[in-house]
Amino acid sequence: MKKLFFAVILLVPTALFAQSPFDGTWKTNFDQSKLSPKPIVFSLSNGMYECTSCAPKFNVKADGSDQAVTGQAYDTIAVKEVDAHTIHVVAKKNGKTAWEQTRTTSQDGKTLNVKTTSYPPNSTQPVTAEVILGREGTPASGANATSGSWKIQKVSESENGLLVTYKGTGNELSMSSSTGSGWTAKLDGKDYPVKGDYGVDSVSIKRIDDRTVEATYKRGGKLMSVDRITVSADGKTLTTVSDYKPTDRVSTYVATKQ
């Protein structure tokens, strides 16, 4: 789970094989993926920013200063109104910027463009992403034009955020990414540490069948997501159905072997 407002990370395990079908480097293809249709809902009005679709929900001052939040993958968030159609958002973890965004609506207010730069904790190279969203319903009167309910239409991301590499050895799997995140876990359903990821800090892996495994991710002992990952019979495609529990958002990510 990437983390980001929209940033996406695939964490993919393997099975107990001498030659694992999960081994190799995989690249996410957003054109083939299907993100959750649940809307993203937030508003900026009267100097306050509220994220209704966040879990847990929060309401903070939108004066550009760091505001403390709880239960998120970040500790503080700073929201600033740039103009009637644009806001800038910065999230920090332990005083360091985790990601920053510029959200801008079209002049007719029907489309929202979100440009995100994420700063993985174990990498010197940021990950950039751009998300296009369509408005659902009517905009709130008197609020910044970015406010409202939005549904994701298109996602693009820099290549360093799309690639992950997996290696299975006996009953153990290792994952590494170009952003510095990774883990090593046995396929025994026990929790193992995840490094370099703001969103999760542990993973447990269970084998379902020869080409399918289930990965369970937690943060601070709290369940974050349950992902079912399947490699196609020809070994060229990896499909992850990710159930993000805090917001009950289920997305399907498709990756191709490189």
What are the average pLDDT values for consecutive 10-residue runs of the chain, which has 258 residues?
A: 38 46 95 97 98 97 98 97 98 97 97 98 94 94 96 97 88 88 95 96 93 94 96 95 97 97
Cα of 155 vs its chain's centroid, Å: 12
Task: Please tell me whether residues 67 and 138 are part of one structural domain.
Answer: yes
- Domain membership of residue 16 (yes or no) is no
pLDDT at 10: 33
Task: Give the neighbor-by-neighbor strand order of the sheet with 58-61.
Answer: 58-61, 48-51, 40-45, 148-157, 127-136, 111-118, 96-105, 86-93, 76-83, 67-68
Q: What is the pLDDT of residue 18?
A: 53
| Domain boundary pick from 156, 176, 200 | 156
- The answer to the question of residue 170 being in a domain is yes
Same domain, 198 and 242: yes
The pLDDT value given to residue 109: 95
Per the domain annotation, does 10 fall within a domain? no
User: Are residue 63 and residue 120 in the same domain, yes or no?
Assistant: yes
Report the DSSP pairing between strands 111-118 and 127-136: antiparallel
Is the residue at 126 inside a domain?
Answer: yes
For position 202, which CATH number holds?
2.40.128.20
Residues 45 and 147 in one domain: yes
In a domain, 11, yes or no: no
Domain of residue 122 covers: 40-156
Q: Indicate the residue among 156, 191, 224 that finishes a domain.
A: 156
Inside any domain, residue 230: yes
* The pLDDT of residue 83: 97
Asked if residue 117 and residue 96 are part of one domain, the reply reads yes
- Total domain count for the chain? 2
- Is the same domain home to 151 and 61? yes
Q: Which of 234, 183, 228, 175 is nearest to 23 (CA)?
A: 175
54, 147: one domain: yes
pTM assigned to the model: 0.89
Residues 6+ apart with CB under 8 A from 215: 11, 12, 13, 203, 204, 205, 226, 227, 229
Among candidate residues 124, 139, 156, the one where a domain is terminated: 156
Per the domain annotation, does 2 fall within a domain?
no
